[in-house]
Amino acid sequence: MTPDYDRAASAAIETLIRFSITSAPVAPLHILKQYPGVLVVSYETMSTDVLQDRKCVIDTYGERNQDAITACNMKNGHPQYLVTYNQRLPFFLHQRALARELGHIVLGHDGSRPESVRNEEAKTFAHHLLVPRPLVHAVEAFGIRFTMEVLNNLTGCNDYCVSCMRRLPAVHVPAELNRAVRDLMMPYVFNFFEYQRLADHKDGSALADLGNYMEGYEE
């Protein structure tokens, strides 16, 4: 069975539109907390609530799921989700993990298809949510040279996340969806680069002077 990459990418773009995401970095945690039928808690909170050691809570979910995991139960014929995540990870790690779990929920993964297929679709969803192609197009519309540094600064994603996107198959997303997200994010892109231009002009020596930051500092 082949993953439906087009559906996963389109669902990510539709999610950005549905929740009126107008800037980056995209915060899957914020979306999950608004998503109907979803409760999201950190391992820290979970361990406090069930009065267990935090390590025991993580061990319960298994070695592979120490970033985030989703449990699903049916209630009155409707799915109820519990998303648990490792809050102690760096932002970009739990950002990517929560985007993946959101993908499983949005795509309605119920275990009826192979795990490898579900994981590929959720991963595709996550990358297109965090680094939406319309955002890239919005940057290019301003004539900005698109570099890894620019992408990192705009999205909060690290190089590994972006390199994973490069390995994904080409996808087709309806043009109207791409245009809608591009319109949502265009003001953010404009303000980002306008602020950067003004800041660089105002203090172009900021990086050169960074060494002075630690002068005279003692433990």
Asked, for residue 35, whether it belongs to a domain, the answer is yes
Asked, for residue 102, whether it belongs to a domain, the answer is yes
Residues of the chain with pLDDT under 50: 63
Asked, for residue 217, whether it belongs to a domain, the answer is no
Q: The domain containing residue 65 runs over which residues?
A: 5-186
Asked, for residue 70, whether it belongs to a domain, the answer is yes
Asked, for residue 205, whether it belongs to a domain, the answer is no
Asked, for residue 112, whether it belongs to a domain, the answer is yes
Q: What is the pLDDT of residue 156?
A: 78
Q: How many domains does the chain have?
A: 1
Asked, for residue 89, whether it belongs to a domain, the answer is yes
Q: What is the pLDDT of residue 205?
A: 54
What sections of 50-174 are H helices per DSSP? 54-61, 91-106, 115-130, 133-141, 148-155, 159-167
Q: Which amino acid is at 132?
A: P
- Which residues fall within 8 angstroms of residue 180, CB to CB, at 6 or more apart? 13, 17
Asked, for residue 195, whether it belongs to a domain, the answer is no
